[in-house]
Amino acid sequence: MDKMNRITTKATFETIEEIVSPPIYDLRIDFWQDIRDPYVNEIIEVLTNCKQILKQGFEVDTVEEQDFMGKFEDEIKEYTATYIRKLFKDINVNLLRRFNTEFKQDTKGASRNWVALEEQQIRDLWAKSKTKIEPLFNSFKYIEIPSDISTKVV
């Protein structure tokens, strides 16, 4: 059962990285929601599968099942928080990339022709780009890891 735990944990951690990384890289305004929904769905599926394997494959009793599941959930939450903290250490790079995308490219994704723009137009673009990025700062005040997952597992 310990080997199952290591394999399941490793696979789950890899999946968490795949779910969490792209939204933090892109930094859209709703990036927490882009993380939360697939994260919760994946964890529910993993926990449900683990319960079935424990009951049907290993035929463990309720105490063993609860012990395994509790420890496994704790590992998942701890890993997720650690991984997101790690990504947030580099958040300035993501914020700068997002700002540069807003500022240096037009709505079609083409590079702006700075020579054709007046100074005030450039300042206005800078202010507009800054305004689009500022709401993201509120999203970094906390790490949102759903804690009600186990109540959804059958």
* Residues 137, 98: Cα–Cα separation, whole Å: 12
* Residues 1, 19: Cα–Cα separation, whole Å: 27
* Residues 4, 6: Cα–Cα separation, whole Å: 6
* Residues 123, 72: Cα–Cα separation, whole Å: 52
- What are the pLDDT digits (tens) for 123-145? 999 999 999 888 887 777 666 66
In this structure, the chain runs to a length of 154
CB atoms closer than 10 angstroms to residue 24:
19
DSSP per-residue letters across the chain: -HHHHHHHHHHHHHHHHHHHHHHHHH--TTHHHHHHHHHHHHHHHHHHHHHHIIIIIS---HHHHHHHHHHHHHHHHHHHHHHHHHHHHTHHHHHHHHHHHHHHB-TTSPBP-GGGS-HHHHHHHHHHHHHHHHHHHHTTSS----S-SGGG--
Q: Total domain count for the chain?
A: 1
Model pTM?
0.75
Domain assignment of residue 68, given as a range: 2-152
Per-residue pLDDT of the chain (154 residues; tens, 9 = 90+): 677 678 889 999 999 999 999 999 888 888 888 999 999 999 999 999 999 999 999 999 999 999 999 999 999 999 998 998 888 887 888 888 889 999 999 989 899 999 999 999 999 999 999 998 888 877 776 666 666 676 666 6
